[in-house]
């Protein structure tokens, strides 16, 4: 029996040891859970704190936008826009008239140059059958004043090579030089 008592005593000691270890584990578990809850609470409070800061910033931004929008809308009055539009239209009309005047002055100056150069203009008159209209001719001395001949011009006696296509084009221009083109009156 003494062996049984000894075995029973060892068993009771083992159970006591297990209980003590269980209690330690339980306490460690409870402590861990409490620490976890504290950490979660701290995180929650930080989130709430920052969330309230974000909400306050958003409210301030909304108020700032409202104030600036109101001041912008009061700064833009329809009457001022109409007056500005009217002024711009007047400026555009004045510019258009100036451009027309400049174009007319250019045409008149070109006509004076043509008239001074010896070009005669015959108004169109009904032509009888078999009758030829009088031709319009330009004087050859229409060189602009103050221009010099190019420095690289060759002496007339030296032969100069000319591209055949250019030569044919020049001959055609020489044949048509007595004719007036619309660009002679209005410019290009």
User: CB of 119 within 8 A of CB of 136?
Assistant: yes
Q: What is the pLDDT of residue 119?
A: 55
Percent of the chain with pLDDT over 90: 23
Rounded to an integer, what is the distance from CA 32 to the centroid of its chain? 64
Average pLDDT across the chain, whole number:
77
User: For the whole model, what pTM was predicted?
Assistant: 0.28
Q: Each residue of 7-32: pLDDT tens digit? A: 888 889 998 888 888 888 889 999 99
pLDDT band at residue 175, thresholds of 50, 70 and 90?
Answer: confident
User: CB of 101 within 8 A of CB of 121?
Assistant: no
Domain boundaries, the chain: 2-76, 77-117
Look up tokens 């009904």; give the residue. Answer: 126
pLDDT band at residue 140, thresholds of 50, 70 and 90?
Answer: very low
Tokens read off for 35: 């620490």
What is the secondary structure of 111-170 as a DSSP string? HHHHHHTT-------PPPTTPPPPPP---S--PPTT----TTPPPTTS-----HHHHHHH
Q: Each residue of 51-100: pLDDT tens digit? A: 888 889 999 999 999 888 888 777 777 777 788 889 999 999 999 999 99
Q: What is the pLDDT of residue 157?
A: 53
| DSSP assigned state of 179 | S
Q: Each residue of 29-63: pLDDT tens digit? A: 999 999 999 999 999 988 888 888 888 999 999 99
Q: Each residue of 92-137: pLDDT tens digit? A: 999 999 999 999 999 999 888 888 876 555 555 555 555 555 555 4
CA 29 to CA 144: how far, in whole Å? 110
Q: What is the pLDDT of residue 88?
A: 93
CB within 8 Å of 131: residues ≥ 6 apart = none
Between the alpha carbon of residue 184 and those of residues 123, 180, 187, the distances in Å are 16, 6, 6
């Amino acid at each position: 029996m003494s062996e049984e008592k000894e075995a029973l005593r060892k068993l009771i000691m083992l159970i006591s040891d297990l209980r003590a270890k269980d209690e330690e584990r339980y306490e460690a578990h409870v402590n861990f859970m409490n620490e976890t809850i504290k950490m979660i609470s701290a995180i929650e409070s930080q989130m709430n704190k920052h969330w309230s800061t974000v909400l306050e910033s958003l409210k301030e931004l909304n108020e700032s936008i409202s104030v600036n929008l109101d001041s912008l809308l009061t700064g833009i009055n329809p009457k001022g826009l109409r007056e500005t539009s009217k002024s711009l239209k007047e400026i555009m009309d004045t510019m258009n008239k100036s451009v027309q005047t400049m174009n007319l002055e250019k045409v008149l100056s070109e006509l004076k140059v043509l008239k001074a150069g010896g070009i005669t203009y015959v108004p169109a008159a009904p032509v009888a059958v078999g009758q030829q209209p009088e031709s319009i001719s330009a004087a050859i001395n229409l060189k602009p004043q103050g221009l010099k001949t190019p420095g690289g011009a060759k002496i007339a006696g030296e032969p100069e090579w000319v591209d055949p296509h250019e030569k044919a084009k020049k001959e055609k221009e020489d044949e048509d030089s007595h004719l007036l083109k619309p660009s002679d009156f209005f410019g290009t």
